[in-house]
Amino acid sequence: MSDTPYAEKITEMRRELRALNALVPETARGFGALSKAVKESGPLGLKEKEFVALGMSIILRCEPCINFHVEALMKAGATREELGDVLAMAIQMGGGPGLMYAGHALACWDELASA
């Protein structure tokens, strides 16, 4: 884990994704359409869907995914206490590695909340 602030990591990942999107625009549009369809349909709200995505990101150990989903959860009105409940579930499902990545998710939340 680097000492780079989470906000900088998010900005850098967005820069990298813009370059990727320019290289493969059809793929980027397809992924964007899929994301929009998933988020805008079904019985679960956006916040609940982002909690699922965060739990999966922790278990899959995808730090950029964790950062993006924490940011999305903050925008969706999630609370730190709700985040804690999801982190506890991810820890239960992922054991020790889940514990470590849940720590990353909490540190990202705390940093972004104080910015």
Angstrom CA distances, 76 to 9, 55, 82, stand at 20, 16, 12
Whether residue 43 has pLDDT greater than 90: yes
The CATH number of the domain covering residues in 6-114: 1.20.1290.10
Whether residue 88 has pLDDT greater than 80: yes
pLDDT at 72: 97
Cα separation, 42 vs 37, in Å, equals 9
Model confidence pLDDT, tens digit, residues 64-73: 999 999 999 9
Name the residue ranges covered by the structural domains of the chain. Answer: 6-114
Q: What is the rounded average pLDDT for all residues in the chain?
A: 95
- For residues 60-80, give the mean pLDDT: 96
- For residues 49-57, give the mean pLDDT: 97
Confidence at 90, pLDDT banded by 50, 70, 90: very high
Model confidence pLDDT, tens digit, residues 11-40: 999 999 999 999 999 999 999 999 999 999
Share of the chain above pLDDT 70, in %: 98
Three-class DSSP category at 47? helix
pLDDT at 1: 55
- Residue ranges of alpha helices (H) inside 1-115 are 6-23, 25-40, 46-60, 63-75, 80-114
